[in-house]
């Protein structure tokens, strides 16, 4: 199953890093970018590396927790220093903020390849998750990911905060709470391209962590729309996201039934199930829900 909840944890906070494994998050993203002041970044890299290394083999609730790190954007010139330090901790993946298309993705992938060799890590073990919306240019490059060969691409995700500042937008949502046009357009592209590539589609965070009902609505909408997970900015959001994305007993039962139906009829393209027709897309969804490759 893909990680459902992706929790950002400041890389310069030993205390918060120490509590990260107990939050229930499926993936922890040690943040070296927005959450860390420039003067604190060198120490944050060391803390991130050590945390990644310590928890490399950690298992919580009989499942591995994914260990990710968000490096600084290409434009800052800090990203190579970030990678040079944290790759020694063997992260499961690297989040690339403000990614302005496949060219920047390939730059980071090439650097990771060299560092995997240097740190004796398996080639290709470190995945990349680009944030594809934080500048106007990055948002316009989302469709370019569809046809590019990217074996390290784990998924796509997006964010609204940086882009709203770039656009000078005074709002991101309308009076009813729905995303306004630019943000809705980006979210839809992120979702569609992720599914076209067969990678994770991870929805953006809900920025008011004290609003539990708002977080719940956002998480339930993300799942209903087809996202595989959602970012979290605070530990209190993690159980809400996990609950929203967890399949119900009815969904699991139906998925098992559809898989069994096609197993019993391996040459069929379309079958009848409970009075409705099901076909190969239904089978793919059922297998994905059950974690069957």
Binding site, annotated residues for Mg(2+): 134, 162
**Angle between helical axes of 79-86 and 41-54 (0-180°, round to 10):** 30
Task: Please report, in range form, the residues annotated as the binding site for substrate.
Answer: 70, 134
Task: Please report, in range form, the residues annotated as the binding site.
Answer: 70, 134, 162
Are residues 139 and 186 in contact, defined by beta-carbon separation less than 8 angstroms?
yes
Q: How far apart are CA 230 and CA 4, in angstroms?
A: 6
Are residues 21 and 36 in contact, defined by beta-carbon separation less than 8 angstroms?
no
Q: How far apart are CA 118 and CA 141, in angstroms?
A: 32
Are residues 91 and 130 in contact, defined by beta-carbon separation less than 8 angstroms?
no
Two structure tokens written together for 185: 């357009």
Q: How far apart are CA 90 and CA 121, in angstroms?
A: 7
Q: How far apart are CA 95 and CA 204, in angstroms?
A: 13
Q: How far apart are CA 170 and CA 237, in angstroms?
A: 25
């Amino acid at each position: 199953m893909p990680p459902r909840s992706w929790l950002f944890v400041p890389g310069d906070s030993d205390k918060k890093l120490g509590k990260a494994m107990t939050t229930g998050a499926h993936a922890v993203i040690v943040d070296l970018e927005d959450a860390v002041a420039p003067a604190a970044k060198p120490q944050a890299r060391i803390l991130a590396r050590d945390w990644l290394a310590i928890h490399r083999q950690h298992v919580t609730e009989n499942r591995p927790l994914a260990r990710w790190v968000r490096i600084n954007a290409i434009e800052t010139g800090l990203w190579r220093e970030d990678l040079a330090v944290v790759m020694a901790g063997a992260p499961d993946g690297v989040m690339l903020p403000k990614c302005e298309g496949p060219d920047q993705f390939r730059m980071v992938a090439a650097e990771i390849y060299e560092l995997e060799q240097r740190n004796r890590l398996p080639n290709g073990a470190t995945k990349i998750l680009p944030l594809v919306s934080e500048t106007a240019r990055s948002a316009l490059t989302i469709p370019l990911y569809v046809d590019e060969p990217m074996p390290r691409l784990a998924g796509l995700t997006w964010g609204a905060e940086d882009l709203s500042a770039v656009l000078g937008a005074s709002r991101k949502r309308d009076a009813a709470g729905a995303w306004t046009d630019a943000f809705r357009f980006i979210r839809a592209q992120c979702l569609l391209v992720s599914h076209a590539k067969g990678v994770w589609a991870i929805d953006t965070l809900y920025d008011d962590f004290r609003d539990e009902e708002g977080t719940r609505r956002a998480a339930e909408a993300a799942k209903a729309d087809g996202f595989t997970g959602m970012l979290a900015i605070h530990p209190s959001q993690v159980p809400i996201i996990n609950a929203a994305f967890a399949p119900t007993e009815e969904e699991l039962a139906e998925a098992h039934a559809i898989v069994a139906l096609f197993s019993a009829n391996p040459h069929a393209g379309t079958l009848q199930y409970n009075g409705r027709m099901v076909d190969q897309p239904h089978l793919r969804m059922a297998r994905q829900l059950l974690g069957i490759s």
